[in-house]
Amino acid sequence: MAELEKKARQALVPSGWDYAPAPESREIVRIEERYGHFVGGEWLEPKESYTTISPASEEPLAEVGQATPAEVRAAIATAREAFENGWSALPGSERAKYLFRIARILQERSREFAVLESLNGGKPIKESRDVDLPLAAAHFFYYAGWADKLEYAFPNRRPRPVGVAGQIIPWNFPLLMLAWKIAPALAAGNTVVLKPAETTPLTALLFCDVVRQAELPPGVVNIVTGDGRAGAAIVEGDVDKIAFTGSTEVGKAIQRELAGTGKRLTLELGGKAANIVFDDCALDQAIEGIVNGIYFNQGHVCCAGSRLFVQESIHEDVVKKLKRRMQTLRVGDPLDKNTDIGAINSRMQLEKIEELVEAGKEEGAEIYQPPCRLPEKGYWFAPTVFTDVAQSYRIAQEEIFGPVLSVLTFRTPAEAVEKANNTPYGLSAGIWTEKGSRILWMAERMRAGVVWANTFNRFDPASPFGGYKESGFGREGGRHGLEPYLEFD
Amino acid sequence: MAKAPVLARGFELPLEPRLPRIGSIDAVALEARADSLAKRSIKKEAKLFALELAIRMTDLTTLEGADTPGKVQALATKAVKPDPSDPSIPSCAALCVYPNLVPAAVTRLRGTGVKVASVATAFPSGQSPIDVKVRETEEVVAMGADEVDMVIDRGAFLSGRYAKVYDEIVQVKQACGDAHLKVILEVAELGTYDNVRRASLLAMAAGADFVKTSTGKLSGAATLPVTLCMLEAIRDVHEETGRMVGMKPAGGIRQAKQAVQYLVQLYETLGAEWLTPDLYRLGASTLLNDVLMQIRKERTGRYQSPDYFTVD
């Protein structure tokens, strides 16, 4: 009888529950066939152009300009003119009005931007919808509030705008990084020339429409597109400040180039964050934090928690739970509302991830990837975890910038600090423990710009963000984020 | 119904390796996870699958002082054939009633496959002597209840007398005999997720076949985060002992959409093995009609007036 019941029950158990596709509609966003450079409030016909694609399907989306040095110089000259003829002299409360207007328009058009962000960049729609867009709008709101209070932000220092800011941003959070750069620059009274990443120009180009809709004076925001050559032209151009977010290698080259020029510089570069899990943590929530720390945005996050340090006493449990959780991650169409992990941003990035993962295998680490069907077209990489990783392996040292986690162990808090800080980077760190005093003890000792406790990858415009060591210098966000865009007595 | 192995005194958790980390839940992160699972977009066949399953998992419930045999029999009929106009709609899992109404429910449900569940142990407060609770349990089982929904003594739990809570569950479990035991934690009175986790582990260690959130008598009944907290405790017990314990969120689940969210959470936390009425129940009094309405909408593409569904 019991056997029969057991059989009957097994028959009722489905092998799984296939969620039907739930794609967000593409209809909401109109992509032009060709885009030029946005200079002085007008579209300039580009001399050269290239095709931008969707990394999830390799489908061409639009032709965009590859800015030549002359085009970049023209954009900078336009920004200079706008700075000198009006924008810098505008009262802060007037600048604030424009920023508030941009923030509201971003909120109103957030679905459109979210769809385009996922289409051009490959990130899951749930992230562009719930993270990128709300945060981008929040940054504009936040800095709009500072625009008429700079005197109070820096009392007795007579803050003045710097001039023209050249801003070069990465492909991992295209619109959000644009907001991080443009909002404080404008609030402080500067004008900007911004270059989005080569692979993800479309939301920045759609943002030009928002700039027009907000009736921002022409020339205050200028956007040129193209690869590193266009970026180099900005760095060499007649700008007063460079703000760069991207790879450490390029950051170093920019710093060399700018040495002795008097141009100001802030760099937000790579990272190899330690996510440290103590045995007294809330375990299931820590697992969520680990997953969020490394698989959020396919691991294309400079502050990703890519080195997991687990207290040895719970190592086995953590790895078991983590693997189990990884099996429920849904990899696929970025526009599907149920997708957890989208496409790798470009072929180049995919190759870099593959190379480092191969190195990890060769060096002797044990690899685990949950069974998942990857689409045939486009650039994909399954969520990956390496166990038995030694501190000296490349996968524990180099930034992979993909959905690849390395698990290491420690025995005591002091050892955790020592190992976590033993990296050329220092952007972020995570601490998981239910013990408040240990959080403070650890945070004091971490050489990282951001330390999260019992959470990870959490951002707020009011909180400064930036790195130690090879992760860069300068802070973005918060009152600190205004400083690089201001001169003082 | 398949049953967990009956051990003399429940089963022993291997306490040694667990001891350092029985009791912590990070409330912020737990709620964030529950929230993100609730955002899954379930459509078309996937939604129909969930709605049909929700009916098979429903413990149709009436726990009112005004309950009469007539009312219970009407509900029993509904539980067997939730939608008389559509034979493809399955029966509910059980009908959940007060002890005095067990005979009325049994009369109507015998041979239908729908179980009779009775609350017991001085429901809803649990504040009575243990011998009374045991006696009540024996009575409802003797009257034909297939399942017993007991409440834990929250007064004892909150004053730290865990052993008393444990022993009472063990004794009630013995009194149940072959009947299935669901242990109601009444999470709204436990105050913290840490307590919910502790009480869940305690109940499972004492032999519960199911753990259940609430009596339905308080406003803070089942929520997605508290249910997730209990599912994670169930998962840990399964990982360590192989024993599969069931889960029953109850109270406040009124809409089909909520039911789907609960099932998504179940599926992504415990896996497909738990997608069965043997291991998951939804305690609800008004959910059923909304589910029926949604099923018809999925099939026909149109919503119909509530008047096309019986009010029982």
Q: What is the pLDDT of residues B250-306, one digit of tens each?
A: 999 999 999 999 999 999 999 999 999 999 999 998 999 999 999 999 999 999 999
Whether A135 is in a domain gets the answer yes
Q: Which of A280, A273, A285, A367 is nearest to A325 (CA)?
A: A285
Picking from A19, A130, A288, the nearest residue to B46 by CB comes out as A19
One domain, residues A253 and A288: no
B128 close to A (CB below 8 A): no
Picking from A20, A281, A282, the nearest residue to B46 by CB comes out as A20
Span A25-40, average pLDDT? 97
Q: What is the pLDDT of residues B20-55, one digit of tens each?
A: 457 699 999 999 999 999 999 999 999 999 999 999
One domain, residues A215 and A278: no
Q: What is the pLDDT of residues A152-195, one digit of tens each?
A: 999 999 999 999 999 999 999 999 999 999 999 999 999 999 99
Of the residues B16, B24, B48, B200, the best mutation for testing chain A's interface (the one with the most A CB atoms within 10 Å of its CB) is: B24
What does the pLDDT read at residue A7? 47
- Which residues lie closer than 8 Å to B189 by C-beta, 6 or more apart? B154, B158, B218
Q: Binning pLDDT at 50, 70 and 90, where does residue B220 land?
A: confident
Q: Indicate whether A12 pLDDT > 50.
A: no
Q: Cis omega (within 30 of 0) on the bond before B129?
A: no
Which stretch of A101-105, A446-450, B22-26, B126-130 has the lowest confidence by average pLDDT? Answer: B22-26
Neighbours of A424 (CB within 10 A): 14
Helix A133-146 × helix A110-121 angle, to 10°: 120
Span A25-48, average pLDDT? 97
| Contact across the interface for B275 and A454, Cβ inside 8 Å | no
One domain, residues A80 and A107: yes
Contact A181, A169 (CB under 8 A): yes
Domain of A107, CATH number, reads: 3.40.605.10
Q: Is A281 a known active-site residue?
A: no
A20 close to B (CB below 8 A): yes
Span A303-316, average pLDDT? 96
Q: Give the pTM.
A: 0.93
| Position B213, amino acid | T
What does the pLDDT read at residue B107? 97
State how far residue A171 is from chain B, nearest Cα, in angstroms: 25
One domain, residues A97 and A236: yes
The one catalytic residue in B209, B212, B236, B290 is B212
One domain, residues A44 and A188: yes
Of the residues B41, B244, B264, the best mutation for testing chain A's interface (the one with the most A CB atoms within 10 Å of its CB) is: B41
Q: Which CATH class is domain B23-299?
A: alpha beta
Whether A168 is in a domain gets the answer yes
Q: Indicate whether A3 pLDDT > 80.
A: no
One domain, residues A199 and A236: yes
Whether A29 is in a domain gets the answer no
The one catalytic residue in A208, A281, A302, A303 is A302
State how far residue A455 is from chain B, nearest Cα, in angstroms: 7
What does the pLDDT read at residue A9? 44
Of the residues A19, A314, A431, A452, the best mutation for testing chain B's interface (the one with the most B CB atoms within 10 Å of its CB) is: A19
| Contact across the interface for B45 and A18, Cβ inside 8 Å | yes
Whether A359 is in a domain gets the answer yes
One domain, residues A222 and A83: yes
Span A141-150, average pLDDT? 98
The pLDDT > 90 percentage for chain A reads: 96
Residues of A in contact with B2 (CB under 8 A): 2, 5-6, 9
Q: What is the pLDDT of residues B190-211, one digit of tens each?
A: 999 999 999 999 999 999 999 9
Span A425-432, average pLDDT? 98
Q: Binning pLDDT at 50, 70 and 90, where does residue B12 land?
A: low
Neighbours of A47 (CB within 10 A): 13
A434 close to B (CB below 8 A): yes
Q: Indicate whether A465 pLDDT > 50.
A: yes
For every residue of chain B, DSSP letters joined together read ---PPP-TTS----HHHHGGGSS---HHHHHHHHHHHTT----HHHHHHHHHHHHHHEEEE---TT--HHHHHHHHHHHH-S-TT-TTSPPPSEEEE-GGGHHHHHHHHTTSS-EEEEEESSTTT--S-HHHHHHHHHHHHHTT-SEEEEE--HHHHHTT-HHHHHHHHHHHHHHHTTSEEEEE--HHHH-SHHHHHHHHHHHHHTT-SEEE---SSSSS---HHHHHHHHHHHHHHHHHH----EEE-BSS--SHHHHHHHHHHHHHHH-GGG-STTTB-EEESSHHHHHHHHHHHHHHSS---GGGS---
What is the rounded CA–CA span in Å between residue B1 and residue B18?
30
Domain of A310, CATH number, reads: 3.40.309.10
**ipTM confidence score:** 0.91
One domain, residues A64 and A104: yes
The pLDDT > 70 percentage for chain A reads: 97
C-alpha distances out from residue B246 to A356, B42, B120, B277, Å = 43, 24, 18, 9
One domain, residues A237 and A306: no
| Contact across the interface for B20 and A9, Cβ inside 8 Å | no
Residues of B in contact with A283 (CB under 8 A): 21, 24
What does the pLDDT read at residue B23? 60
Q: Specify the 3-state DSSP secondary structure of A295.
A: helix
Q: Indicate whether A226 pLDDT > 70.
A: yes
What does the pLDDT read at residue A105? 98
* Burial of residue B6 (number of CB atoms within 10 Å: 0-12, 13-18, 19+): middle
Residues of A in contact with B24 (CB under 8 A): 280-283, 434
One domain, residues A265 and A344: no
The one catalytic residue in A71, A127, A198, A268 is A268
B38 close to A (CB below 8 A): no
Residues of A in contact with B30 (CB under 8 A): 282, 284-285
H-helix segments, A328-435: 347-363, 394-397, 413-421
Q: Indicate whether A301 pLDDT > 90.
A: yes
Instruction: List the 26-45 stretch of A: residues with Cβ below 8 A of B.
Output: none
Picking from A19, A20, A288, the nearest residue to B29 by CB comes out as A288
What is the rounded CA–CA span in Å between residue A472 and residue A266?
7
A458 close to B (CB below 8 A): no
Whether A295 is in a domain gets the answer yes
| Position B204, amino acid | M
What does the pLDDT read at residue A62? 98
| Contact across the interface for B40 and A337, Cβ inside 8 Å | yes
What does the pLDDT read at residue A128? 98
| Contact across the interface for B20 and A279, Cβ inside 8 Å | yes
Picking from B21, B41, B43, the nearest residue to A283 by CB comes out as B21
Q: Give the residue on A whose Cα is nearest the Cα of B232.
A: A284
A51 close to B (CB below 8 A): no
Q: Binning pLDDT at 50, 70 and 90, where does residue A489 land?
A: confident
One domain, residues A253 and A305: no
B105 close to A (CB below 8 A): no
Residues of A in contact with B29 (CB under 8 A): 282, 285, 288-289, 454-455
Q: What is the pLDDT of residues B58-117, one digit of tens each?
A: 999 999 999 999 999 999 999 999 999 999 999 999 999 999 999 999 999 999 999 999
Handedness of CA A253, A258, A259, A265 (dihedral sign): negative
Q: Specify the 3-state DSSP secondary structure of A473.
A: strand
H or E stretch including A85?
Answer: none
Q: What is the pLDDT of residues A202-225, one digit of tens each?
A: 999 999 999 999 999 999 999 999
Q: Specify the 3-state DSSP secondary structure of A32.
A: coil
Q: Indicate whether B8 pLDDT > 60.
A: no
Q: Is B248 a known active-site residue?
A: yes
B16 close to A (CB below 8 A): no
Residues of B in contact with A21 (CB under 8 A): 43
- Which residues lie closer than 8 Å to A78 by C-beta, 6 or more apart? A39, A40, A218, A219, A222
How many domains would you assign to chain A?
Answer: 2
| Contact across the interface for A283 and B24, Cβ inside 8 Å | yes
Contact A263, A240 (CB under 8 A): yes
Whether A66 is in a domain gets the answer yes
Q: Indicate whether B240 pLDDT > 70.
A: yes
State how far residue A8 is from chain B, nearest Cα, in angstroms: 9
What does the pLDDT read at residue B21? 54
Contact B212, B185 (CB under 8 A): yes
| Contact across the interface for A337 and B39, Cβ inside 8 Å | yes
Residues of A in contact with B273 (CB under 8 A): 13
One domain, residues A293 and A158: no
B33 close to A (CB below 8 A): yes
Residue A439 lies in domain: 274-453
What does the pLDDT read at residue B223? 97
Dig out the tokens for A413 from the structure.
């808090």
| Pairing of the two strands A450-453 and A472-473 | unpaired
Radius of gyration of chain B (CA): 19
The domain limits of chain B are 23-299
Span A119-135, average pLDDT? 98
What does the pLDDT read at residue B11? 52
A9 close to B (CB below 8 A): yes
| Chain A / chain B CB contacts < 8 angstroms | 87
